[in-house]
Amino acid sequence: MSADFSRVSIVLAQALEAALNQAMHLDLEEGQALKALPTSVIALQIDPLKTPFYCLLNEQQISVQSHLNGSADASIQGGISDWLALGQDHPNVDVFEFSGDTDLAQRFLKALAAIEIDWEEHLASLTGDLIAFKIGHGVRSYLGLKRRQRDYIEQTIKEYLQFEIEAVPTKSQVQHFNQDVQELSQQLDALEARINQLN
C-alpha cells in the first residue's frame, strides 16, 4: 500500500467542521455573513500544520475536508495564533496572506471574525435565566479578577525594578535625564558661540 493518509488531519477537519457549524448556529445573526457567500471552496492553511483544510461553502452549511479534487477558489494562510485571534473583539485580518479569489477570501475571513456568540443567552435556554446569569456573572468576575491580578503583578515587577534595585529608570527620571542632556547641549552651543566671538 502506498497511499498518503493522515488520520490526524482527517480528525482535525472533522473537528473544524463541527466547530464552524456550531459557531454559525450560536451566532447572534446565525452566520448570515457566511451563508451569503457563494458556493465555493476555500483552502485554509494553518501554520505550522502542513496540510491545508478545504472549506466547502454550500449555502446553509460548511463542510471541511483535508483532501480536494482540483484547486480551491481561494486560499488563506496564517499562523495558528492569528486564526485563534479571530475570536477576539477586534481581530487583525491584515496578518493573513490571501491568494486566488482574494475578495472571496477576505469576505470569508471577515464573516468568520464577525461571528458573535452570546454564551449567556444560549446557556439560559439550557439552565434557565437565573443559573445562566450566575454562571455568566461568575465567569465575568473570574476574568476581571485575572485582569486585576495581571495588572497587580505588572505593577509590582515595575516597582521592584525601578525603586528597589533601580535596574531601570522611571519615566520621569528618563524625562529629567533628557532635559539635562538638552540643557547641556544648549550650554555647549552657547560656549561654542562665545569662543568663536573671542577668536
Q: How far is the CB of 70 from other proteins (least distance, A)?
A: 6
Sign of the CA dihedral with 152 first, then 156, 158, and 163 last:
positive
- Measured CA to CA in angstroms, residue 184 lies from 177, 192, 198 at distances of 10, 12, 21
The binder of other proteins chosen from 23, 37, 61, 93 (CB under 8 A): 61
What gap in Å lies between CA 174 and CA 49, rounded to an integer?
45
Q: Which stretch binds other proteins (CB under 8 A): 1-9, 84-92, 135-143, 183-191?
A: 1-9
The binder of other proteins chosen from 26, 49, 63, 77 (CB under 8 A): 63
What gap in Å lies between CA 60 and CA 41, rounded to an integer?
14
Contact between 16 and other proteins by CB under 8 A: the answer reads no
Q: Which is nearer to other proteins, 39 or 196 (CB)?
A: 39
Query: How many Å from the N-terminal Cα to the C-terminal Cα in the chain?
Result: 95
The binder of other proteins chosen from 27, 44, 66, 83 (CB under 8 A): 66
What gap in Å lies between CA 28 and CA 148, rounded to an integer?
30
Residues that bind other proteins (CB under 8 A): 1-3, 5, 7, 10, 13-14, 39-41, 54, 56-59, 61, 63, 65-70
